[in-house]
Structure 1
């Protein structure tokens, strides 16, 4: 009985072995040949014209067809599928639209997938709508602590340069913004003049930009001495 069971198990193992071998041969044969596949690339835009941002209506995907060895296609399948489009390379149709023709799109795709032949792209041209940004001047507010060594004081007052910056963005976003804070900064034990660059707090939306990301905080510091003295008081010309 055990001998019969052993023979059956041996046959089952042999069957599985040849089944796996056949599957491996099929896989190697299949993927060693040129294959055609479609990839859907996510579009990311960089280098927008000044004081503009990409409209929410801009395309966010591009379908392409490629031809390559099956193993290369399999490798590309697991790679990042983000296609970065440099808007400075496009042609401005007007103030609100930028155009890429099919040849330009193919060139971007070739650089993205150099191991495969890009047969075609879904679009004959790609039109990217851009929105003009509004501008607004806002106040800069220092946020932090300042302390001096005993016996020293700030002459007049500390200064921030510039006291105002310009922010750019959709009007519905910047209308409610009136000021921007510096990052929280501690300036401790000052005993001499200081001029230090301080960063501004990060913008809370990637649809916003600003004229600069830091300001200059400066102060003149002078040593002084405190002393108590008694002075006699003498009255003169007292009315009689």
Structure 2
């Protein structure tokens, strides 16, 4: 006669599983509540590096924290691993090395990594960071400021920057390859008053350099302008003596913009329009008129006619 297999009630299996899991949890809690001593690597991030120094890539990337605490806190440090920020402006310079004393900054370190140094300690007493001096250079700054003036307004002089150059430091091969840098591009529309503002220096692609200034001031005097015109006789120069040259028109109209305050100061005698016969190409029957003299305070100067037709009389 076949023997029946013993059967376990589901309630018994559930009870057994509960006590097994409960016992495991109690065991884990007991183990994690014990005090342990563990060596943990704390990553280091360096801030405020001196602008005239290039920090070596061989610098220490961590400090060793000997942590004496319960298992829960040790596990927390291993998982989240807080970072230590080292302010190099507080380091001492000794024999081409920056020496940062950890022992002199324990209270700051405690706040940063949330550790109690009554139970734990930083193994190292100081961090030593090798460096090389950077090369320094003054770079000219060019503005990238696009201005659209309101109707009737303009400026005599281009936008000026203050300062117009900036000191930078960095690796010699990078420094020697650059002579000019630029501001960030800005667009100003319908301008009808003096410009005075700040604009950042464009450092994109120049991460190897350290800038002693990050922005500059720009300014420009803006005034009301009006358009003027004058009829000017055309001169022809470098015509061979044996050549009888006739040309037309004999005069052209020059248009210009001028500050309203200086409008009365401009006269036709201030201009000189010249055609150079030497510039005529074979087969051409015209010369190009050039403005060779004009007042320095006017702008947007143009001619109503630049081609001067000519014929050679026999």
What TM-score do the two structures reach when normalised by structure 1?
0.81
Match of 1:221 in 2: 222
Post-superposition offset of 1:222: 1.4
Quote the Cα distance in structure 2 between the aligned partners of 1:148 and 1:101: 58
Quote the Cα distance in structure 2 between the aligned partners of 1:97 and 1:13: 66
Quote the Cα distance in structure 1 between the aligned partners of 2:169 and 2:200: 18
Would you say 1:97 and 2:97 are equivalent positions? yes
Stretches of structure 1 that go unaligned for 5 or more consecutive residues are 231-240
3-state SS, counterpart of residue 78 of structure 1: helix
The 5 Å alignment of 1:60-71 reads 60-71=61-72
Quote the Cα distance in structure 1 between the aligned partners of 2:129 and 2:230: 77
State which structure, 1 or 2, has the greater radius of gyration over its C-alpha atoms: 2
In the superposition, relative to structure 1, how do residues 107 and 226 fare at CA in structure 2: closer, same or farther (>3 Å)?
A: closer
In the superposition, relative to structure 1, how do residues 12 and 176 fare at CA in structure 2: closer, same or farther (>3 Å)?
A: farther
In the superposition, relative to structure 1, how do residues 84 and 206 fare at CA in structure 2: closer, same or farther (>3 Å)?
A: farther
User: Is this contact kept in 2: 1:73–1:116, CA < 8 A?
Assistant: no
The 5 Å alignment of 1:1-240 reads 7-94=8-95, 96-101=96-101, 103-104=103-104, 109-117=109-117, 119-204=120-205, 206-226=207-227
Post-superposition offset of 1:106: 5.5
3-state SS, counterpart of residue 13 of structure 1: helix
User: Is this contact kept in 1: 2:84–2:113, CA < 8 A?
Assistant: no
Structure with the larger RCO, 1 or 2 (CA within 8 Å, 6+ apart): 1
Quote the Cα distance in structure 1 between the aligned partners of 2:193 and 2:100: 57
| CA deviations over 1:1-32 (Å, ceiling 9, x no partner) | xxx87x44323222221111011101111112
Stretches of structure 2 that go unaligned for 5 or more consecutive residues are 1-5, 232-314
What TM-score do the two structures reach when normalised by structure 2?
0.63
Quote the Cα distance in structure 2 between the aligned partners of 1:97 and 1:33: 42
User: Is this contact kept in 1: 2:83–2:113, CA < 8 A?
Assistant: no
Structure 1 runs (4+) greater than 6 angstroms displaced:
227-230
In the superposition, relative to structure 1, how do residues 108 and 227 fare at CA in structure 2: closer, same or farther (>3 Å)?
A: closer
| CA deviations over 1:166-221 (Å, ceiling 9, x no partner) | 11112122222222221110111111111111111135355421121111221111
Q: How many residues were matched structurally?
A: 225
Quote the Cα distance in structure 2 between the aligned partners of 1:181 and 1:229: 39
Quote the Cα distance in structure 2 between the aligned partners of 1:85 and 1:49: 13
